[in-house]
Structure 1
């Protein structure tokens, strides 16, 4: 019996708290996963995340970051350069597109390019109306006694 490797589900999504949503987005997503460029997803705190992509050889104007319908897309497109004769080419110098599914209320707040690493900062901000509320329980027995009296008086009047 074959086991299912779920690791691709976890590395392409940020901020999911529910496995069902993660599975749903993975099943409706792309079927081919490219290994380029390599990246890390890091939890900085409970509601802050960072995605770091290794984009060696790319400059600011060759990178594009967009968020649309809960999907973060990072694209890299190389400008046409002079023809070079390589004896060995180990540094990838190709166009790429990498997509990340974002959970509800996850917003991109910042992007920095430094030393060949593109770091995108994300924050999960749940609206106040959606946050759980604690409801105080009153210990006032008069409220319950009043309702019980009202029921008794209605019963005795009907008889």
Structure 2
């Protein structure tokens, strides 16, 4: 028996890129830090919220490249003159990536009480009916 993959199914033409995208996302190495929520705020909008306590706006970067939203955090070293008797608050860098569907764009980002909110909006494409003329060979 032959295993059908998304890219090899006879009725799904041109979806090979989607299959590669799913594989790349599975291998992206996103760890559990920082924790995040994804919520649907309307029929065409979403919000990703990351818990980034201890990070300032200047410590964070948000980029979109090739339909991939990448959020990075890197805290500046506060100086080596500090002596910790116990260090239980994570002060590490992070890298979170999310794959965005075609037509989904970042509409803004805000920081509030140690939470980074990234708002996304999906454009609704117009329905197009295309008639194809049949030529004689």
Aligned residues: CA RMSD: 2.1
- From 75, 99, 103, the counterpart of 2:97: 99
Contact 2:104 2:122 (8 Å CA) reproduced? yes
1:36 corresponds to which residue?
A: 33
Structure 1 counterpart SS, 2:118: strand
Q: Please, which moves more after superposition, 40-49 or 23-32?
A: 23-32
Give TM-score, length-normalised by structure 2.
0.72
User: Where do residues 1-159 of structure 1 align in structure 2 (5 Å cutoff)?
Assistant: 24-29=20-25, 30-83=27-80, 84-128=82-126, 131=127
Indicate the structure (1 or 2) with the bigger Cα radius of gyration.
1
Runs of 5+ consecutive residues of structure 1 not aligned to the other structure: 1-19, 134-159
Equivalent residue of 1:28, what SS?
A: helix
Once residues 50 and 23 of structure 1 are traced to their aligned partners in structure 2, the CA distance between those partners, rounded to angstroms, is 25
- Find the aligned partners of 1:113 and 1:81 in 2 and give their Cα distance: 21
Structure with more of its chain in helix, by fraction? 1
Q: Distance in 1 between matches of 2:18 and 2:87?
A: 37
Q: Which runs of 5+ in 2 are unaligned?
A: 1-15, 130-137
TM-score, normalized by length of structure 1? 0.63
The answer to whether the 8 Å contact 2:106/2:118 transfers is yes
Following TM superposition, where does structure 1 have runs of at least 4 consecutive aligned residues deviating by more than 4 angstroms?
20-24
